[in-house]
Amino acid sequence: MTGTVRTMRDALIDGLCDRMREDCSIFFLTADFGSPALDRLRLTYKNRFINVGIAEQNLINVAVGLALEGFTVYAYAIAPFISMRAYEQIRNNLSVMSEFYQLNVNMIGVGAGLSYDVSGPTHHCLEDISVMRTLPNIDIFSPSDWVLCDKYVDYSIENKHPKYLRFDGKPQPQIYDNSVEPDIKKGFYELIKADTVCVVSTGYITHTALAAIKSTSTGTGLIDMFFLRRFDEHALISALSNYETIITIEEGFIGKAGLDCVISNLLEKAVPECRLIRMGFKDNYEFELGGRDYLHEINGLSQAALIKTIKTATEK
Amino acid sequence: MKLNRQDKLLLNEKALSVRAETLKIHGLAQGTRIASSLSPVEIFVVLYYGGILSYDPANPMWAGRDRFIVSKGHGSISLYPILSDVGFFDKRELGIVCQKGAIAGAIPDPHIPGYETINGSLGHGLGVASGVALALRARNRAERVFVLLGDGEMSEGSVWEAIMFAGHHGLDNLIVILDNNKACMLDFCKNVIDLEPIEKKIRLFGWTVKRVDGHDIGKLYNALSIFKGQSTGRPKFLVADTIKGKGVPSLESDPLSHTRNILPDDIEAAIRGLR
């Protein structure tokens, strides 16, 4: 199921460019961060594209001001900076103010997880899901491929509340092709259905999980979570309840408020007999160099580590 | 665009009664910030009673209103009596501030008709206002965006991000009023982060700047009415020199007035002392 290689941001921005032709209520703001697709957008829609400069706090505040007046806004920056440099702007002016107003601000953070593998902890983004999940009223979209981003364009325009979009920084092959038609509103997709052990993943590491499961003959399920809030909870509980063991794997800290906690909350509530194994980053920052695969390997997140975990879980 | 003598007298009387009402609120709600709420009284009076702001109390979110974003929200308890007086909400609310079931607390939120944005953390208002100004300009709307900033708040980096942004984009529908009351929480601002020469600094960022006595109704009115009418391609910044705790001598000279309370038993005397 792997096909065209593309960046998530280009898929979303290309889709937006098409919508901006007819929809004059869309503004695109960036904190001096670009992409090839953005070059087209900023040349075509000069009056609705603004580079606020390297100023993430102002990026969010200006976006909020535009949204208060009814514009649909996309605010684009590097993931750790938009999610954490501007955290109080997001908290007060999007999360809190959404109690009063409809604010369609779509925060696009590029560089989820270890996308920027050689740039060190300031560019690694292992906390964004956790910090965003603690805020009421903010949706989280964590896609595994660009096809989902393309589908998300219409959803993001039509659903008028604040959203955090965490995109991988590098081009990735598509997971979803014509034979797979995920319902974006459902928030997850069962890539492989099985009956004993299931891996639940989000973002880039779904590629690792897919490859790992395909390389074994263990009959392991795989659920790709692309919404970490406002997903179809009933359907997800129904899917999880088919299994004895769930393994969550994510490019993020575990035991805080990330994917593992989304799943553990559901299991505790609805499938308490199901065992949960959490794979992700432990409670420290990573300074090692050597590429994303190597960093995964030394943090127990490689394909081999997942296969080993699956096998152990299957044998028990 | 000048007020006549009669108008000035009337507005000064309004300012006096707003100060008295504000002290009464503080007497009942000791969690409110009295000193920083007394400095912008004349600014509020000119905006709401002087005909500077366009607003409709029956329809607070009327599309034709001038937007007024109070960025130093904690220091705007003195706006409560004005908003209720002009009809945004019932006067009974003034007697139950901070109590169960009240709409108004120590720090105003958009629960209160007439307030546009959330308050309590400083440095947010100007950036949001810049986005609003940009939106109005994109739609060719004539409404203005007014922002009240505090001088202590000017230490926040996000304020300067917005000052650079608004200047660069020439947002001439944006009007900032700086309540320059000279003190933050622990000291006079000049001993903490000295803003001066504030006019020169802001002008260098591409803004039109004026400076007036922030307790002089006539001068405030002149400056704001000129700013509202101008479309010069530059955002506008009015430095309003004020006194923190204005009208209450024990607060006026105190660098620590920010957290000082006037105790309920002393409120009547403080009101008598206003004249």
CATH number (domain holding residue A195): 3.40.50.920
d(CA A149, CA B173) in angstroms, rounded, equals 37
Q: What pLDDT sits at residue A315? A: 86
Domain shared by A126 and A105, yes or no: yes
Q: Do B121 and A88 count as a contact with CB atoms less than 8 A apart?
A: yes
pLDDT at A2 over 60: no
- Report the pLDDT value the prediction gives residue B253, as an integer from 0 to 100: 84
Mean pLDDT for B195-202 is: 98
pLDDT tens digits, A206-217: 999 999 999 988
Q: Residue A217 has what pLDDT?
A: 82
- The answer to whether residue A30 is domain-embedded is yes
Q: Is the pLDDT of residue A303 over 60?
A: yes
Whether residue A38 is found in the same domain as residue A117: yes
- C-alpha closest to that of A110 among A8, A22, A42, A243: A8
Across residues A11-18, what is the average pLDDT?
A: 96
Q: Looking at this protein, which amino acid is placed at residue A167?
A: F
Measured between CA atoms, how close is A229 to chain B, in angstroms? 24
Pair A115, A263 in one domain: no
Q: Convert the pLDDT of each residue in B108-119 to its tens digit.
A: 999 999 999 999
Q: Tokens 């709600």 appear where? A: B29
A285 close to A159: Cβ distance less than 8 angstroms: no
Residues A251 and A283 in one domain: yes
In what side-by-side order are the strands of the sheet with B236-241? B67-70, B145-150, B174-180, B236-241, B208-213
pLDDT tens for each residue of A214-234:
998 889 999 999 999 999 999
Q: Is the pLDDT of residue A316 over 90?
A: no
Name which of B126, B238, B235 is nearest B172 in CA terms.
B235
pLDDT of B1 over the 70 cut: no
Tell me the shortest Cα–Cα distance from A8 to chain B, in angstroms.
Answer: 27
Indicate if the pLDDT at residue A99 is higher than 70: yes
The CATH code of domain B5-272 reads 3.40.50.970
pLDDT band of A1, cuts 50, 70, 90: very low
pLDDT number for residue B275:
77
Query: What gap in Å lies between CA A156 and CA A151, rounded to an integer?
Result: 9
Distance from CA of B184 to the nearest CA of A (A): 21
Instruction: Say whether B161 and A63 touch across the interface (CB within 8 A).
Output: no
Q: Pick A66's closest partner by Cβ from B109, B120, B131.
A: B131
| Contact assessment for residue B14 and residue B86, using Cβ atoms and an 8 Å cutoff | no
Residue A87 covered by a domain: yes
Question: What's the length of chain B?
Answer: 275
Q: Is there a domain that residue A92 lies in?
A: yes
Is position A42 within any domain? yes
Q: Which of A142, A173, A204 is the last residue of a domain?
A: A173
Domain identity same for A61 and A109: yes
CA dihedral B25, B28, B34, B39 (to 10 degrees): 10
Rounded Cα distance, B10 and B183, in Å: 29
Torsion of CA A156, A25, A76, A154, to 10 degrees: 20
The mean pLDDT of B147-164, rounded to a whole number, is 98
Whole domain around residue A287: which residue ranges? 184-315
Average pLDDT over residues B11-32: 98
What's the pLDDT band for A257 if we cut at 50, 70, 90? very high
- Residue after which a domain boundary falls, among A103, A138, A173: A173
B170–chain A nearest CA distance, Å: 13
Query: Residue B77 and residue B38: Cα distance in Å, rounded?
Result: 8
Q: Decide: A52 and A82 in contact? Cβ < 8 Å.
A: no
Which of B112, B118, B132 is the best substitution to test chain A (most A C-beta atoms within 10 A)? B118
**How confident is the model over A233-245, as pLDDT tens digits?**
999 999 999 999 9
Determine the residue among A30, A68, A101 to mutate to test chain B binding: the one whose Cβ has the most chain B Cβ atoms within 10 Å.
A68
Q: Which 3 state secondary structure label does DSSP give B144?
A: coil
* Strands in B139-235 per DSSP E: 145-150, 174-180, 208-213
Q: Do A93 and B128 touch (CB under 8 A)?
A: yes
Q: Report which DSSP code applies to A92.
A: I
CATH number at residue A135: 3.40.50.970
For residue A198, being part of any structural domain is answered with yes
Measured between CB atoms, does B158 come within 8 Å of chain A? yes
- Identify whether residues A149 and A192 lie together within a single domain: no
In a domain, A179, yes or no: no
Strands (E), chain A: 5-6, 26-30, 49-51, 72-78, 105-110, 139-141, 163-167, 172-173, 188-192, 197-201, 221-225, 245-253, 275-281
Average pLDDT over residues A266-293: 97
Name residue, tokens 């969010």.
Answer: A60
Residue A178 lies in a domain: no
Q: Residue ranges per domain, chain B?
A: 5-272
Averaged pLDDT score across all residues of chain B: 97
pLDDT number for residue A307: 97
CB contact under 8 A, B116 and A68: yes
Q: For residue range B36-72, list pLDDT tens digits in order.
A: 999 999 999 999 999 999 999 999 999 999 999 999 9
The DSSP bridge partners found for residue A106 are: A74, A163
Say yes or no for a CB contact (<8 Å) between A61 and B158: yes
pLDDT of B73-106, one tens digit each?
Answer: 999 999 999 999 999 999 999 999 999 999 999 9
A183 pLDDT above the threshold of 70: yes
pTM of the model: 0.97
Mean pLDDT of A188-214: 97
Query: Chain A: which residues have CB within 8 Å of chain B?
Result: 27, 47-48, 50, 52-53, 55, 57-58, 60-71, 88-89, 92-93, 96-97, 100-101
In a 3-state reduction of DSSP, which class is residue A137?
coil
Give the pLDDT mean for A249-278.
97
Q: Looking at the structure, tell me whether residues A122 and A220 fall in a common domain.
A: no
| DSSP helix/strand/coil, A252 | strand
Pairwise pLDDT comparison (A216 vs A6), residue with the higher score: A6
Number of domains composing chain A:
2
Judge if A164 and A283 occupy the same domain: no
Do A155 and A184 meet the contact criterion of CB atoms below 8 Å apart?
yes
The number of beta carbons lying within 10 Å of the beta carbon of residue A259 is 28
pLDDT at A218: 84
Residues A201 and A62 in one domain: no
Nearest to B124 among A68, A71, A93 (CB): A93
Residues A89 and A227 in one domain: no
Beta bridge mates, A49:
A28
Residue with tokens 């695109």: A28
Residues A44 and A138 occupy one common structural domain: yes
Domain identity same for A134 and A230? no
pLDDT-based confidence at residue B129 (cuts at 50, 70, 90)? very high
In-domain check, residue A168: yes
Distance from CA of B145 to the nearest CA of A (A): 11
